[in-house]
């Protein structure tokens, strides 16, 4: 028993390490991390972010922010965030393997588990993503793991959505005949990332229906539902009370801005549905067909049906609130799950061939798998190294490094709206940027107002607009491209490099 546990832990650590390196993370802080780490780092005392406007808006992911705050306050280092994500990747990989094992008994073959884990590592590797981006398109780099609308569980950065691995773990627990724990685990995914509330609810509904079909009694399904609700209720109440909206008109305007201006690529079916999505749809249907005689069909069919129904309803009604619910987001676990089912089916059939049963051929297959994994890991490590170097050489890094050292309490920086890394590199408050957004309706409207003011200034370099930003909006400094020559009263150049210049704005009289 002890040896079995030790081997299991060893296998988890080994394969998690290999998978995580092959997948490759983007350097901290990148892309969505600039939004989702902001509240936690501000509360942890990083720089002067506690004075940042966006950091003081309502937090859409308070549990994740609490984890960021606790980690940074305790360790004062970013390395733990890489480790957290690697651990989640391990949960994801072994959940998929556990599901494959439950369906096709891969462990009955000596080589089937190795083949499955090796190919899953390849499917999720940075190397394959690079190849797909070059051979097909950059939009299809994640085609074998992401759901519809460019949404996925994993991805290059550690963020709240990566806790979607708990949805995959939940399905594995369901297959292990642990529906209570499965429902609670699904609810935990929503606790960290409230966008998963619909996915967790759909999975819980699937478990309830499956258990009722098995027992023909209501007691156990009701208890399962109550357990999941007890876990999810605090975050559900928080989301409803914090983001339920104020007046109908303001909420409508805010939703319209989000759907049609900020995230149409996630919220509008007309923006994201193409041939790649058709391919993913076929993959899901094939996966469901192969799993048609298994209990897992409940966990595939019910969420798929819920998503299909709500998506059609959104298309018919053009309801912005329903669009922001992202009913198609359940595909973030349906697609990788279907891919794993198809792969496990092929591996089980392949490993049963008599011609592959000889020790020599099994050694050859094992060697091929080892080479595949080693190459994937090598490419992933190279990718991370190159990304680190590229990050250090980004044109804005020099001015940001200067600001990080020379900022003062009370400074507020006007920045080009696409300079999304500014806050977490400098620790300084930014007036606004396009990437990081609030979610309460009044805050969305304020964000949009600020964005328009910033855009108008950078398009015109109008001195009166800059003076108004200083006197009415509290701007103390402005970052401009070096090619933009600013000659305004009260604007004093304090730094310049080949890419950007920094101006101090004298306080209004």
Cα 475 to the center of its chain, rounded Å: 32
The CA distance from 481 to 458, in Å, is: 9
**What confidence tier does 17 reach under pLDDT thresholds 50, 70, 90?**
very high
Residue 288 is predicted with a pLDDT of 98
**What confidence tier does 1 reach under pLDDT thresholds 50, 70, 90?**
low
Cβ of 123: how many Cβ atoms within 10 Å? 18
Mean pLDDT across 282-297: 97
Judge whether 150 and 272 are in contact, CB under 8 Å. yes
Residue 354 is predicted with a pLDDT of 74
**What confidence tier does 134 reach under pLDDT thresholds 50, 70, 90?**
very high
Mean pLDDT across 394-401: 97
Phi-psi region of 478 (alpha: psi -120 to 50; beta: other; left: phi over 0): beta
Judge whether 63 and 192 are in contact, CB under 8 Å. yes
Q: What is the DSSP letter of 107?
A: G
Cα 503 to the center of its chain, rounded Å: 35
pLDDT for residue 509 is more than 70: no
Peptide bond into 22 cis (omega under 30): no
Residue 337 is predicted with a pLDDT of 98
The CA distance from 377 to 294, in Å, is: 34
Q: What is the DSSP letter of 356?
A: G
Q: Specify the 3-state DSSP secondary structure of 145.
A: coil
Mean pLDDT across 492-509: 93
Residue 126 is predicted with a pLDDT of 97
CA dihedral sign, ordered 135, 139, 140, 141 = positive
Condensed to tens digits (0 to 9), the pLDDT of residues 345-362 reads 999 999 888 777 788 889
The continuous run of DSSP H or E covering 469 comes out as: helix 463-473
Mean pLDDT across 234-263: 90
Q: Is the pTM of this model over 0.85?
A: yes
Mean pLDDT across 222-230: 96
End-to-end CA separation in angstroms for the chain:
78
Condensed to tens digits (0 to 9), the pLDDT of residues 94-118 reads 999 999 999 999 999 989 999 999 9
Cβ of 132: how many Cβ atoms within 10 Å? 17
Residue 420 is predicted with a pLDDT of 96
The CA distance from 167 to 190, in Å, is: 9
**What confidence tier does 439 reach under pLDDT thresholds 50, 70, 90?**
very high
Mean pLDDT across 135-155: 95
C-alpha distances in angstroms, 467 versus 493, 504, 508?
15, 12, 8
Q: Report the share of the chain in percent with pLDDT over 90.
A: 92
Mean pLDDT across 6-35: 95
Q: Give the angle subtended at the CA of 371 by the CAs of 367 and 375, to the nearest 5°.
A: 170
Which residue pairs, CB below 8 angstroms and at least 24 apart, start in 39-42? 39/65, 39/68, 39/69, 40/64, 40/65, 40/66, 40/67, 40/68, 40/69, 40/72, 41/68, 41/69, 41/72, 41/424
Cβ of 492: how many Cβ atoms within 10 Å? 11
The CA distance from 384 to 20, in Å, is: 11
Condensed to tens digits (0 to 9), the pLDDT of residues 32-83 reads 999 999 999 999 999 999 999 999 999 999 999 999 999 999 999 999 999 9
Residue 355 is predicted with a pLDDT of 72
CA dihedral sign, ordered 60, 64, 67, 68 = negative
Structure tokens at 480: 């401009």
For the chain, give the mean pLDDT.
95
Structure tokens at 28: 């901290």
pLDDT for residue 492 is more than 90: yes
Contacts of 193 (CB under 8 A, 6+ apart): 61, 64, 160, 161, 163, 164
C-alpha distances in angstroms, 495 versus 120, 200, 300, 484?
49, 50, 57, 14
Could you give the angle at which helices 219-243 and 62-75 cross, rounded to 10 degrees? 80
- Helix (H) and strand (E) counts in the chain: 23, 4
The CA distance from 63 to 57, in Å, is: 15
Condensed to tens digits (0 to 9), the pLDDT of residues 304-320 reads 999 999 999 999 999 99
The CA distance from 341 to 96, in Å, is: 8
Mean pLDDT across 211-221: 93
**What confidence tier does 246 reach under pLDDT thresholds 50, 70, 90?**
low
């Amino acid at each position: 028993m002890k040896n079995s546990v030790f081997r299991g832990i060893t296998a988890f650590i080994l394969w998690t390490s290999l998978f995580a390196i092959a997948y490759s993370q983007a350097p901290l802080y990148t892309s969505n991390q600039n939004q989702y780490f902001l509240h936690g780092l501000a509360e942890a005392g990083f720089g002067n972010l506690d004075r940042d406007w966006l950091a003081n808006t309502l937090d859409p992911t308070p549990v994740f922010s609490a984890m960021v705050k606790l980690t940074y306050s305790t360790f004062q280092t970013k390395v733990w965030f890489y480790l957290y994500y690697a651990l989640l990747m391990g949960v994801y990989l072994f959940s998929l393997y556990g599901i494959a094992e439950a369906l096709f008994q891969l462990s009955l073959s000596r080589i089937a588990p190795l083949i499955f884990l090796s190919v899953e590592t390849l499917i999720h590797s940075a190397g394959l993503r690079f190849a797909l981006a070059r051979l097909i398109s950059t939009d299809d780099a994640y085609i074998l793991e992401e759901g519809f609308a460019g949404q996925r569980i994993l991805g290059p950065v550690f963020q709240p959505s990566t806790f979607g691995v708990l949805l995959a773990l939940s399905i594995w627990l369901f297959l292990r005949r642990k529906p209570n724990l499965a429902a609670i685990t699904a609810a935990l995914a929503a606790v960290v990332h409230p966008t998963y509330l619909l996915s967790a609810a759909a999975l819980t509904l699937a478990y309830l229906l499956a258990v009722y079909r098995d027992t023909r009694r209501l007691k156990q399904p009701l208890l399962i539902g109550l357990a999941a609700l007890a876990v999810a209720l605090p975050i559900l109440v928080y989301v409803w009370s914090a983001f339920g909206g104020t007046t109908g008109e303001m909420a409508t305007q805010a939703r319209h801005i989000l759907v049609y201006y900020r995230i149409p690529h996630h919220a509008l079916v007309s923006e994201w549905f193409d041939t790649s999505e058709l391919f993913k749809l076929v993959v899901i249907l094939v996966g469901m067909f192969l799993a048609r005689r298994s209990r897992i069909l409940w966990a595939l069919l019910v969420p798929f049906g819920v998503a299909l129904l709500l998506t059609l309803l959104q298309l018919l009604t053009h309801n912005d609130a329903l669009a922001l619910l992202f009913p198609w987001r359940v595909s973030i676990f349906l697609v990788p799950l279907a891919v794993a089912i198809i792969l496990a089916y092929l591996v089980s059939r392949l490993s049963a061939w008599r011609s592959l049963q000889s020790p020599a051929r099994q050694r050859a297959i094992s060697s091929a798998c080892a080479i595949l994994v080693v190459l994937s890991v090598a490419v992933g490590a190279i990718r991370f190294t190159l990304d680190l170097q590229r990050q250090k050489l980004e044109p804005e890094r020099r001015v940001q490094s200067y600001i990080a050292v020379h900022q003062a309490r009370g400074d507020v920086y006007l920045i080009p709206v696409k300079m999304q890394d500014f806050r977490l590199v400098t620790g300084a408050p930014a007036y606004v940027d396009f990437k990081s957004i609030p979610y309460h309706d009044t805050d969305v409207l304020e964000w949009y107002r600020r964005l328009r003011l910033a855009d108008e200034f950078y398009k015109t370099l109008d001195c009166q607009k800059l003076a108004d930003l200083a006197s009415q909006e509290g701007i103390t400094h402005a970052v401009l491209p070096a090619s933009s020559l600013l000659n305004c009263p009260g604007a004093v150049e304090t730094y310049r490099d080949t890419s950007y210049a920094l101006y101090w704005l004298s306080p209004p009289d």
